[in-house]
Amino acid sequence: MTHPATHPDQSLIARYATGDPGVDDATVWALEAHLESCAGCRSGLAGALAPDLQGLLDRTSAGIHAAIGGGPAPVPVRRGHRRMTTARLWPWPVSAGVLILMALGLDRIFPQMPSPVMLLAPVVPLIPVAAVWSRPLDPAWELTGSAPRGGLWMLLRRTLAMMLVLLPVLTVAGLLTGHSPAVWLLPALALTAGSLLAGQLVGGVDRAAVALGVIWAAAVVAPSLRDRHTSVVLAADGRIWWALVTFALVAVLGAQIRHRGDFAH
């Protein structure tokens, strides 16, 4: 038997049924995911609807069933055809890759300067991450946010897809400059996780990613170019600290994701 704590309160279901704007998107996504598999809570949702709205839904449901019964059979879609991103998001990882190639060119032209590749590699992934979580840049945002189990998990899958596309480019560029991927990978993961967490505080992951990028440029890139010496935060001795920071941020992020999905079972 499912523990009662795993079910949302009836008051929350009632607020959801009436379209209360005080229910945030994350709670709506978690609640809708729970309603998919919990007949009891769906019954509570039906009871929370106004009579006129319930009648409208009944008529709509009957019409949809009639249309489905009289229409053509559905065409199965192979799993591989499901898209994790939209076409308008791909220019952003491409732009980030071009930026890394330009940094690689500068590294070859000015070998006496700190490697631009290493200075930019930790923050370049923030470009596609900001695009993925930006409402104005995603034409399918409303569809993503309204689909059960679509909003949060879809955005996280898109973030992973963008990272998987960009990391090979960064790895090759880093190896061509003679730097181990560990030098930039841990800071990149830490900054990415930090942007996902900080987005809850500043009103959006895209804003947090931009803010972290600006801070990195001011605190790391500019001093390194000025002093002609790579910042100590990218030194080999700092890997253990980046590893600890990354682990802590990912742990907190994972805990928050599980909390947001606590209605799913």
Burial class of residue 94, CB neighbours in 10 A (0-12, 13-18, 19+):
middle
Same domain for 54 and 95?
no
Same domain for 88 and 151?
yes
The answer to the question of residue 72 being in a domain is: no
pTM assigned to the model: 0.59
Same domain for 107 and 36?
no
Give Cα 146 to chain centroid, integer Å: 16
Last residue of a domain, one of 40, 66, 92: 66
Same domain for 127 and 37?
no
Same domain for 149 and 244?
yes
The answer to the question of residue 79 being in a domain is: no
Domain count across the chain:
2
The answer to the question of residue 131 being in a domain is: yes
Domain boundaries, position 193: 84-260
Rounded to whole angstroms, the Cα distance separating 59 from 168 reads 53
Q: Are 195 and 208 in contact (CB under 8 A)?
A: yes
The answer to the question of residue 173 being in a domain is: yes
Same domain for 204 and 253?
yes
Rounded to whole angstroms, the Cα distance separating 221 from 9 reads 50
The answer to the question of residue 141 being in a domain is: yes
Tens digit of pLDDT at every position of the chain (265 positions): 344 447 888 888 888 887 788 888 778 888 888 888 888 888 888 777 766 666 766 778 777 877 777 766 666 655 544 455 555 667 777 888 888 888 888 888 888 888 888 888 888 888 888 887 777 766 666 666 565 555 567 777 778 888 888 888 888 888 888 877 778 888 888 998 888 888 877 878 888 889 999 999 999 989 888 888 888 888 777 788 888 988 998 888 878 766 655 433 3
Rounded to whole angstroms, the Cα distance separating 172 from 179 reads 10
Same domain for 177 and 122?
yes
Res 212: pLDDT: 92
- Name the 3-class secondary structure at 194: helix
The answer to the question of residue 265 being in a domain is: no
Same domain for 43 and 148?
no
| Dihedral angle sign, alpha carbons of residues 252, 86, 64, 54 | positive
The answer to the question of residue 179 being in a domain is: yes
Same domain for 218 and 103?
yes
Same domain for 13 and 137?
no
Res 264: pLDDT: 37
Rounded to whole angstroms, the Cα distance separating 22 from 8 reads 16
Same domain for 97 and 57?
no
E strand intervals along 131-211: none
CA angle 205, 206, 210 (to 5 degrees): 115
Q: Are 53 and 82 in contact (CB under 8 A)?
A: no
Same domain for 131 and 228?
yes
